[in-house]
A = this chain, B = another copy of it.
Amino acid sequence: MDRAPMISVIGAGDAPAAVCAVARELGREIAARGAVLINGGLGGVMRAAAEGAREAGGHTIGIIPGYDRGSANQFAEFVIATGMGEARNAIIVASSDAVIALAGEGGTLAESGFAKKFGRPIVAIDAWPEIDGIHRAENPAAAVELALSLASKSGRSRNA
């Protein structure tokens, strides 16, 4: 089986509307290209990206911090209840073929750190100009295209 690539979209759980609109568009682009969206399963950027992916007919996975699956947003199709709190960031990144980052706080910084550690390509839109080794894209479509291209090059191990 050739697995579909998984792309995570990371960003704040209480992002402003403009950032959420970008996240939703990212979700749509990810699904339109046949990739799976994976993220933290809660609100803000997480919810918006999942909504976009579902609108475009894609699969979505929400990796939530607690054990209560009712806390996941309604667009998380498959909910993984980790009970791992913030450490779930490592799971999200390790399960992704590429990471797309929007503006965020500490959680996003941790995810960027894991992306470096695990060798996952990371693409930013208007975020993290101060961190080395992050790729840049100007809009959602370009970000998803770049993420999938980088994932493909980086010798993905997700296929048996």
Contacts and interface: CB of A to CB of B under 8 A. Distances in A.
Interface residues of A, number: 54
A160 B159 CA distance: 33
Interface of A: 1, 3, 6, 36, 54, 59, 61, 63, 66-70, 72-75, 77-87, 89-91, 94-95, 105-118, 130-131, 156-160
A10 to B, nearest CB: 11
**Nearest 4 Cβ contacts at the A-B interface:** A110-B113, A106-B116, A109-B113, A106-B117
Chain A interface main SS type = mixed
A106 B93 CA distance: 12
A118 B1 contact: no
Contacts of A77: 1, 3
